Structure 1
Amino acid sequence: MLPGVQGYAQQRYILSGIIKARQSGETIIGASIRLRPQEPGGNAAGTASNEYGFYSVTLPAGTYVLEASAIGKKTDTMVIDLNKNIRLPLFLNNESANLEEVVVKASSKGRAVSGAQTGVEKLSVREIKNIPVLFGEKDVMKTVQLLPGIKSAGEGNAGFFVRGGSTDQNQILLDEANVYNASHMLGFFSTFNSDAIKDLTLFKGGMPAQYGGRLSSVIDIKMNEGNNQEQEISGGIGVISAKLNVEGPIQKDRSSYLITGRRTYADLFMKLSPDSNVRRSKMGFYDLNAKLNYEIGEKDRIYLSGYFGQDKLTFTDQFGLFWGNGTGTLRWNHIFNSRLFANTSVIFSNYNYEVSVKSGANDISLFSQIRDWNIKQDYQLNAGNNHNVRFGWTSTYHNIRPGEIHASESSSINNRVHQRRYSLESALYASDNWKISDKFSLTYGARLSVFNVLGGGDFYTLDEDGKVKDTLTYAKGDVVKTYWNLEPRLALGYQFSSLSSVKASYVRNVQNMHLLSNSTSSQPTDKWLSSNNIIQPEIADQFSVGYYRNLPGNRYEITVEAYYKDMQNLIDYRDGADIYSNQSVETQLLYGKGRAYGLEWMFRKKTGKLTGWVSYTLSKTERKIDGINNNDWYRARQDRTHDIAVVAMYQLNKKWVLSANWVYYTGDAVTFPNGKYTVGEQTVYYYTNRNGYRMPAYHRLDLAATVQLAPRKKWHHELAFGLYNAYGRENAYMINFQDNKDDPSKTEAVQISLFRWVPSISYNFKF
């Protein structure tokens, strides 16, 4: 035999399987599987489990030491004799199986350093359980806003801005279903009950090719699957809401269920008010998460999950605001072989709101709805240790009811129905994670998106002044217009050592669903529209580069990322626009371009009694739209120069955990009046520069403490205390202008603040 032939022809085998938590049977997302030769001299290899717990790695024949690890789990080590293809299920033990699980570990070792992906953050409920929030409710969406590059849309608002994008440019997925409004109680809570959530991944930079439809970010949230080993009940009672989680096996080891519910009881307190109007009013929400899963065999698993939530806000019988989300996902996982994994999903999503107003003889209601049906097919192929290929397709049918006004017969207001709009949004995608060498990693791919505007009503053409000049009628099912867009994705990483790396990425994103609002913040009554023959798809090209370093011992992590984003076909309003008039909404809109750039820093302490992070974002966001601000660049509503967050958690002892967070950011860009004049006895303000002023700077300190109470057999419980806005800062929620009572020629600015000190206490249990 010629020298070297034996090594060249050495047989390679595949090790694959599903990795789960031993105590619950839940699949583990993003678990690290590392293999090193038992004898010195060979090369190590590794991979991570996908969102369904599946892993696959290819190695030369030999004996290896396998190390499996995940956040919140004990690392497991075993010896594997790889002399054939092996399907090996892995099980990891929890570090602690009850509420005493208080030590926070921010991420697996080296996660930010390895790979080519930029702008990605992962959170688990374990990480956020001690972070103080309003009313003491664990809230993943509020925690996300403490990360660099992500900015809260304001106090009392669940919306957020990512790298210069607006709130509608964030895609929020719950078990793959779009959630169009992720807020309860006008933004004070998010729609996501943390007890139902297993994992959250945020992409704010070069998102992989399987994601698309939004310009700025993707938040991919996976629900828990349910314990398939034993029955388990947990819950909590807080200042404003209560929740209950029930899960357990249907057939042990093979199937399980999960039901999680939450409800506020603020409306019950209102009944105690001496004011009859308050007693006749209602304010509150409920949400329900449910999930079933069943293992048909070693190669097949079926999931059925759903979310249902509703908000109600009424004042006597004169005013009512109702809104809610509903989602449903049916998924089938199939393992073709040790290399190829497939997931097929059928997804439903619904969001609607209704406003009812009764004033004298006028009794009217305003209704709007967006409903989606989506089918997806996704494949993951292990094409050897150096290539992990993902490809598939997706197609979504959108049915939008933009707005309907219904009035009683006695009302002076006429019924008005904006035309329903139908569209089909499809995409083909493929990507490859290529490990070029021990130092270089490359992720490359593309997404071909196709948007069909479908008929079923009238479509308009406009003149240069935005007025309707022609109307064309299309039958339902006719294709009015088709938009084709190629969205390339590219990311490159170079790892200097196990402790540091640099990465760079480019991504193009296209968005065909657009949110219109008359307010400065996201509200339930904002109106969704799709691209049509006038409104074109929004397009963003983002470039980012970053440096990532783990300090020796992997206890600390430093990341620095810079980005530049160029945006096309952005939408804004004409001055004095009214999107609820009986005119075509397109007549109220203007279109232009935007740019956003910034620098993000993050320092994180990952282990030990004291954990947490410090994040800082320096950024600029601008728009340029003909017809606004003399056609010059102007600040976007979400433009903020500085944004700082400090998060700290300290394990005082086995019982007590103390935590705090402090936030500071530059005031929002707003449009204030430049002058006023009088018409009759009425003062009228006039405005010139769009977003030419700023609100006062915002800052706030929150404190929290959690104590583990003495366990009783299988009953584990805790008390959580919190103080929101600990030093009582009166931050500006809104600023209104009015004439001075003593001298009407003078104008007063009146600041409205929401919260000063907000204490909270909650009791949580598990058995």
Structure 2
Amino acid sequence: LMRPYIQTTKYKGTGYYFYDLNAKANYTFSDKDRIFLSGYFGRDVFTFKNKEIEFAIPWGNSTATVRWNHLFNNKLFMNVNSVYNDYNFEFDATQQDFNIKFYSGIRDYNLKTDFNYYAHIKHEIKFGMDYTYHIFTPSNITGSSGDVEFDPSRIEKKYGQEAGVYLQDKYTVNKKLELNGGIRASYFEALGPYKKILYNYSGFPSDSIVYGKNEHIKSYHGIEPRLLFKYSIGQHSSIKGSFNLSKQYIHLVASNGTTLPTDIWVPSSGKVKPQIGYQYSVGFFRNFLNDKLETSVEIYYKDLRNQIEYKEGYTPSPNEDLEESFVFGTGNSKGVELYINKASGRFTGWISYTLSFTNRVFTDLNDGKTFPYRYDRRHNISVVASYKLNEHWTLAAVFVYQTGIAYTLPVGKYFIESSIITEYGDVNGYRMAPYNRADLSLTFEGRKRKFIRDGWNFSIYNVYSRQNPYFIYNSYDGEFLNDPVITVQAKQVSLFPIIPSVTWNFKF
């Protein structure tokens, strides 16, 4: 699909395509009962090839949801959701005579029930429960080097179940003060089948423990309180503040040594503790022009515990015990958010700007010194504008800017005793170029006919054809076994220059 826009002689064989399928249906059984069905299936595939390296990165997500709405009376309302979700990611790379294949995924089966109870004019109460069964494939790796193949005999999977109950009350104290307090009790259990490797003091495998299907391995639980307040100052201004404590039992682990999207999801276990976050925020909100223009300024701070990263210099390999590749530390995030929104009139739109600092401190990384998180976006700007020309035509524009992601750059390679040793610089001490682009669109909405309403959208993606970095790879000039000096050069690969498109949509 994208080859006409990104194809060059230098990168012949490079391409990108995607497809999405959405389906929705609903049925009203009575005045008090409705059923909603929805499904989504999407797949993206990126391929890259030049004279030095070639790889393919397919990833996709599938979801199916059944939702039941039930109205008990004019004070009590219920939502029941049953959700299936499956995400997977693959990476297949070949460089000279070396090949590596990487697969990761997570599959969830979720059941959630939520109640809204309007007990009193001053009290809006929400409560509910949820349950999720997780199936993880954190990292399955196969590879080959020449005639030697590395292929694990089985795909390592991990299993877990998660549950929670919650209660919250939105309480209008008086005309000026509004409180919203809540509490959630959560539980997570790691389950078999699983083979746990035991290590001796020298760090070598010494024994193992085998857990059967659905056998208990490790469990965690916790209480998660939250409190929000809103205090009105006059008719158009208010101050809002919040505090919440959260526990996260599944973790996103990012590989700082590469800019490729190879992040994986792993569950809590005996070694991997739940992540804990304490978040505080306060903001000032002010409306102008008879509430047509909304503005706000918010500051926030997050204290993060039990954060997870790969060990310094980590390289994925077949038959590895993934948990032995992790190190643990703390982190924090702080920043300020500015927001302006015009939601009515022919001209609408909003502008947001966030200045944030997200850092990590790990005893076993970066000599114990603070380093930025991979997804620390120091500056984040979004501008959205829409102008309704008439009843049928609307002109819109979007601009986004983000600081580039942080990553760890190799600064040298050495050939010592038949082994290639890589030396890295400071952890996440380098950044990719900032991401920015502008989009334009013109939308036509047709008149509603008896059974159908259709429309057209004409758009231009990345109007000024910004070469935003998709990833960076290292190019080596020379051969490790034959040349005394190897020149290493970081090269950027970009996707999606200016792309025009035409879309026809219809509803019936």
CA drift at 1:676: 5.4
Conservation of the 8 A alpha-carbon contact between 1:405 and 1:417: no
Tell me how far apart the structure 1 counterparts of residues 449 and 298 of structure 2 sit (CA, whole Å).
48
Deviation at 1:583, TM superposition (A): 1.9
Tell me which residue corresponds to 1:649. 386
Please state how far the C-alpha of 1:474 moved relative to its aligned partner: 2.1
| Secondary structure, counterpart of 1:586 in structure 2 | helix
Of 126, 147, 152, the match for 1:390 = 126
Within-5 A mapping of 1:119-130: none
CA distances 1:691-718 after superposition (whole Å, capped 9, x unpaired): 1123334433333333567999987655
SS in structure 1 at match of 2:149 = coil
Distance 2:398 2:20 in 1: 27
Distance 1:543 1:273, change over 3 A: closer
Residues 287 and 309 of structure 1 are in contact (CA less than 8 Å); yes or no, is this contact kept in structure 2?
A: yes
- Measured against aligned partners, the alpha-carbon deviations of 1:83-111 in whole angstroms (never above 9, x if no partner) come to xxxxxxxxxxxxxxxxxxxxxxxxxxxxx
Q: Does 1:672 align with 2:409?
A: yes
Describe the SS at the equivalent of 1:638. coil
Comparing 558-567 with 638-647, which one deviates more in the overlay? 638-647
Counterpart of 1:123 in structure 2 is none
CA contact (8 A) 1:499 1:552 kept: no
Which residue, 405, 419, 429 being the options, matches 2:166? 429
Deviates further, 441-450 or 757-766: 757-766
Q: CA deviation at 1:345?
A: 2.9
Distance in 2 of aligned mates of 1:407 and 1:634: 32
Shift of the 384–466 alpha-carbon distance from structure 1 to 2, 3 Å rule, reads: farther
User: Which residue number in structure 1 is paired with residue 503 of structure 2?
Assistant: 762
**Cα displacement string for residues 68-97 of structure 1 (whole angstroms, at most 9, x for unaligned residues):** xxxxxxxxxxxxxxxxxxxxxxxxxxxxxx
Q: Measure the CA separation in 1 of the matches of 2:435 and 2:101.
A: 36
Indicate the SS of the match to 1:630.
Answer: helix
Q: Which deviates the most, 757-766 or 374-383?
A: 757-766
1:260 corresponds in structure 2 to none
C-alpha separation in 1, matches of 2:278 and 2:507: 47
Question: Counterpart of 2:356?
Answer: 619
Select the residue among 333, 343, 347 that pairs with 2:83: 347
1:256 maps to none
What is the CA-CA distance between 1:649 and the residue it aligns to?
A: 2.0
**How many Å separate the matches in 1 of 2:240 and 2:461?**
38
Q: 1:468 to 1:745 in 2, by over 3 A?
A: closer
Give the number of equivalent residue pairs: 493
The answer to which of 344-353 and 630-639 deviates more is: 344-353
Please tell me whether the aligned partners of residues 329 and 361 of structure 2 are also in contact (alpha carbons under 8 angstroms): yes
Give 2:175's match in structure 1, choosing from 421, 425, 438.
Answer: 438
How far apart are 1:677 and its partner, in Å?
5.1
Out of 27, 30, 34, the residue aligned to residue 294 of structure 1 is: 27
Give the drift of 1:636. 1.2
Per-residue CA distance 1:194-253 (angstroms, 9 max, x = gap): xxxxxxxxxxxxxxxxxxxxxxxxxxxxxxxxxxxxxxxxxxxxxx6xxxxxxxxxxxxx
Equivalent residues of 1:361, 1:411 under 8 A apart: no
Q: Among 38, 54, 65, which residue is 1:305 paired with?
A: 38
Shift of the alpha carbon at 1:509? 1.4
Counterparts of 2:100 and 2:473 in 1: how far apart (Å)? 28
User: For the Cα contact (< 8 Å) 1:362–1:411, is it kept in 2?
Assistant: no
Amino acid at match of 2:119: A
User: What TM-score do you get using the length of structure 2 for normalisation?
Assistant: 0.83
Contact 2:254 2:309 in 1 (8 A): no
- The within-5 A match list for 1:304-703 is 304-312=37-45, 322-353=58-89, 367-404=103-140, 412-461=149-198, 468=205, 471-518=208-255, 520=258, 523=261, 526-675=263-412, 686-703=423-440
Cα pair 2:143 2:151 within 8 Å, conserved: yes
State the alpha-carbon separation in 1 of the partners of residues 118 and 458 from structure 2: 48
Task: Give the direction of change, closer, same or farther, for the CA distance of 1:694–1:437 in structure 2 (3 Å limit).
Answer: same
Cα deviation for residue 404 of structure 1 reads 4.4
After TM superposition, list the pairs within 5 Å mapping 1:235-250 onto structure 2. Answer: none
How far has the Cα of 1:513 moved from its partner?
1.4
Distance 1:465 1:385 in 2: 66
Letter in 2 for 1:299: K
The C-alpha deviation readout for 1:629-682, integer Å capped at 9, x for no partner, is: 111111111223322222222234445433323333333323234455567999
Cα displacement (A) at 1:721: 3.2
Counterpart of 1:262?
none
Distance 1:542 1:461, change over 3 A: farther
Alpha carbons of 1:482 and 1:732: their partners in 2 closer, same or farther (altered >3 Å)?
A: closer
Letter in 1 for 2:239: V
The AA in structure 1 aligned to 2:426 is: N
More relative contact order, 1 or 2 (CA 8 Å, 6+ apart): 1
**Maintained 8 Å contact 1:396/1:424:** yes
Question: Matches of residues 197-236 of structure 1 in structure 2 within 5 Å?
Answer: none
Q: How far has the Cα of 1:369 moved from its partner?
A: 3.9
- Partner Cα distance (2:503, 2:477) in 1: 45
In the other structure, the counterpart of 1:753 is 494
Q: State the shift of 1:511 in Å.
A: 1.2
Structure 1 unaligned spans of 5+: 1-239, 241-265
In structure 1, give the amino acid aligned to 2:217. Answer: V
Change (3 A) 1:361 1:581: closer
Q: Distance in 2 between matches of 1:402 and 1:303?
A: 32
C-alpha change, 1:466 and 1:635, in structure 2 (3 Å) is farther
| Structure-2 separation of matches of 1:508 and 1:522 | 32
Partners in 1 of 2:432 and 2:68 — Cα distance? 49
Cα contact 2:143–2:318 (8 A) shared by 1:
no
Aligned to 2:441: 704
1:462 offset after TM fit, Å? 5.5
Task: Give the aligned residue type for 1:720.
Answer: N
Shift of 1:489: 1.0
How far apart in 2 are the matches of 1:672 and 1:358?
21
Shift of 1:563: 0.3
Aligned mates of 2:89, 2:438 — CA distance in 1? 34
**Aligned-pair distance for 1:578?**
3.0
**1:303 counterpart letter in structure 2:** F
Give the 3 Å change call, closer, same or farther, for CA 556–333 of structure 1 in structure 2.
same
Displacement of 1:473 in angstroms is 2.2
Distance across 1 between alignment mates of 2:174 and 2:471:
55
What is the deviation of 1:439?
1.1
Q: Secondary structure at the match of 1:348?
A: strand
Q: Unpaired runs of 5+ in structure 2?
A: 479-484
Residues 397-422 of structure 1: CA distance to partner in whole angstroms, max 9, x if unpaired? Answer: 112233446799x9833333243222
In structure 2, the CA distance between the partners of 1:414 and 1:495, relative to structure 1 (3 Å rule), is same
2:463 to 726, 734, 743: 726
- Judge conservation of contact 2:162–2:188 (CA < 8 Å) in 1: yes
Q: Which structure dedicates a bigger proportion of its chain to strand?
A: 2
Alpha carbons 1:364, 1:411 under 8 Å: kept: no
- Counterpart residue number, 1:155: none
Q: Secondary structure at the match of 1:706?
A: strand
Query: Taking structure 1 as the reference length, what is the TM-score of the superposition?
Result: 0.57
CA distance in 1 between partners of 2:25 and 2:434 (Å)? 47
Percent identical? 38
What CA distance in whole angstroms lies between the structure 2 residues aligned with 1:314 and 1:664? 26
1:337-367 CA distance string (max 9 Å, x none): 3222223333222223456789999999755
SS for the counterpart of 2:324 is helix
Across the aligned residues of Structure 1 and Structure 2, the Cα RMSD in angstroms comes to 4.0
